[in-house]
Structure 1
Amino acid sequence: MTGTGFTTTFTVDQTRAEAFAAVLDPRGWWAEGIDGRTDEVGAEFTYAFEDVHRTRIRVTDIEPDRKVSWLVLENHFNFTQDDTEWTGTTMTFDITEADGATTVRFTHEGLVPAYECFEACSTGWTFYVATSLRNLIATGTGQPNADGRPRLDTEVAAVEATGRRAAAHA
């Protein structure tokens, strides 16, 4: 983690070009239901997970085989007091190569421990980036959320909390 955001890093034996292509395909490692283009500067896409989380993201920077950056334009969490915690934050994938190995460094700038979503979000990024994206690059198969159902314990907890809140308001 950096002083102003969450960071996770991994190294694979594949090339920077292979890592870059995988980063540009979040449907292959984050969520199959992502809607919109993710492979050109200025493009916008949306991510939604049940009623728990939805976000609209703009691709702000692409440097082939080196870097991809996103800006969160809108965000909604239903499990935090401030449901817009991600709004205005950035996500950057830096890709470097040395000694025949490629390192991908993901930073969600603005995702800080003071955020109510920090535990759930950092756990999610650790899985979807450091495990699923890594596997997509290394083996050709990621573990994206494919059915819109919770995959991680933190996702299950957020869905259950949503159900409890809905029951309390009924």
Structure 2
Amino acid sequence: MEKNDFTSSISAKISAGEAVKRISNVPEWWGITFSGSAEKQNDKFIVKMGGDSFFNFTVAELIPGKRIVWLITDCNMPWYSDKKEWANTKLIFDLAENNGVTELKFTHEGLTPDVECYKDCAPGWTHWIKTSLFSYFTTGKGVFRPPSR
């Protein structure tokens, strides 16, 4: 069966090594409450988006300059009927550097059009990757906006 996982891509004039550092500095580009560390493999961190929501992450894979995989080990999304919808999904950042320009392909493995949050999460991820993370890569500042809920 074909997977329709959400993907988004950007390219920026930044080294892949610096891109990994900036992705790992989560609060600078993702407008959330953050605790823990996302800098090396097996690090654990928690993201909160207000209210009773939380997302527990483990850095499942980190290949310097190439790939970061964050596994969502637990979550609570109180605004959806399936409050655990993101549990056991992965956020994957694949990087490729060429002549000083790094291409990033972001995939939220498990976020597909048939899950309830897709209608909110797809535009959310599009903003956080194409606008905020891109801005952080190119200007050193993310672009925050109020959460959609």
Whether TM exceeds 0.5 here: the answer is yes
Tell me the number of residue pairs that the alignment of Structure 1 and Structure 2 aligns. 148
Displacement of 1:98: 2.2
Q: How does 1:149-168 map to 2 (within 5 A)?
A: 151-152=146-147, 155=148, 158=149
Report the Cα offset of residue 32 of structure 1. Answer: 5.3
What is the DSSP-based 3-state SS (H/G/I as helix, E as strand, rest coil) of the residue aligned with 2:128? Answer: helix
The equivalences for 1:12-161 within 5 A come to: 12-31=12-31, 33-51=33-51, 53-144=53-144, 151-152=146-147, 155=148, 158=149
Amino acid at match of 1:55: F
Tell me the distance in 2 between the aligned counterparts of 1:4 and 1:73: 21
2:22 partner letter: A
Q: Find runs of 4+ consecutive structure 1 residues off by over 4 angstroms.
A: none
Tell me, yes or no, if the aligned pair for 2:32 and 2:48 is still in contact at 8 Å.
no
- Unmatched 5+ stretches in structure 1: 146-150, 159-170
Q: Alignment RMSD, CA only?
A: 1.6
Unaligned runs of at least 5 residues, structure 2: none
Q: Report the CA distance shift for 1:144/1:46 in structure 2 as closer, same or farther (over 3 A).
A: farther
Larger Rg: 1
8 Å contact 1:35–1:47 — kept in the other structure?
A: yes
Cα distance in 1 for residues equivalent to 2:69 and 2:142 = 20
Choose between structure 1 and 2: higher helix proportion: 1
CA distance in structure 2 between the partners assigned to 1:37 and 1:60 by the alignment: 13
- TM-score normalised by structure 1 residue count: 0.81
Tell me if structure 2 keeps the 8 A contact 1:61–1:69.
yes
Answer whether contact 1:27 1:144 (CA < 8 A) is retained: no
Q: Secondary structure at the match of 1:128?
A: helix
